[in-house]
Amino acid sequence: MENKLCVITGANSGIGFETAKELSRQGAYIVMVCRNEEKAEAAKYAIQKEVSGAGIDIVLCDFSIQADIRKAAEHINQNYEKIDVLVNNHGFIAKKYAETIDGLEATFGVNHIGYFLFTTLLLHKIIATGRARIVNVASNAHRGGNFDPENLQLKSGFSPMKAYSNSKLFNILFTIELAERLKETEVTVNALHPGVVRSNFGNNGSLLLGLFWKVGAPFMVSNKQGAQTSIYLATSPHVEGVNGAYFANSKAVTPRKQARDLEAAKKLWEISEKIVSYG
């Protein structure tokens, strides 16, 4: 990873932090895209304290705000000549139905549109790099999701876990449609399940989810363990040329049937384009 530029969203904590630290250890220059400046600076300091000579830049971005995403992408496009690896890692689960400043259901806006808009804004720079990689952190929670174009943002029937599961399904559908669009390039894109990670994620959701996270913590994997598949997809020569796959435990696995629906993936892309153009 020497002299490679890696852009990692949500890199100040959890598996994003562990991914940034390990890629930095392997010689990559890291662009940490984070919402909270204080936490980002603390994470940068922690990595540089452990990894001598680590090169790290911080770009601030609130992925619930499309203007912020555009500003962050513009900064990266203007300041870096190439992007070797993009890891879309940030994640969110709303406690109750709420809308972003752009009028999107919050979990959908952050987890799906956040991935979609940020990636597409950086895509020309990624393609120009050549053999670049895009890594999308999804989840096996996608198995509880559903693609319904008429109720994409759960205006009816909302629940925090349903919204989260839908967003993770959309991460995989986004991955397979983007893979299709990248076929004529040297860029690959893959999605992954990091495992059920013992992180602060559960604190963002409902009281019930928080309780589940607390009770289940002894059976969950650590942040370091949860980051391993992201690191593998970003670095391993064994996945050179692998495009549009879904991984768990650093192995390609089969997601649920709807996550492999090419028509749904294409439809979601078209809807997403309209949202980011006119939303």
Q: How far are the Cα atoms of 8, 112, 164, 232, 258 from residue 19, in angstroms, in the given order? A: 8, 20, 22, 10, 29
Biggest distance spanned by C-alpha atoms of the chain:
52
Contact 225, 258 (CB under 8 A): no
Backbone phi, psi, residue 253, to 5°: -130, 170
Instruction: Give alpha helix (H) positions in the chain.
Output: 14-25, 37-50, 66-79, 106-107, 114-129, 160-181, 207-216, 223-226, 228-235, 262-278
Closest to 191 measured CA to CA, from 126, 121, 227, 243? 243
Helix or strand (DSSP H, E) at 59: strand 56-60
118: tokens are 């940020």
Contact 107, 92 (CB under 8 A): yes
Contact 56, 17 (CB under 8 A): no
Does 232 qualify as catalytic in the annotation? no
Task: Identify the active-site residue in 45, 80, 97, 164.
Answer: 164
Give CA 28 to chain center in angstroms.
Answer: 19
| Dihedral angle sign, alpha carbons of residues 195, 242, 29, 49 | positive
* Active site residue ranges: 164
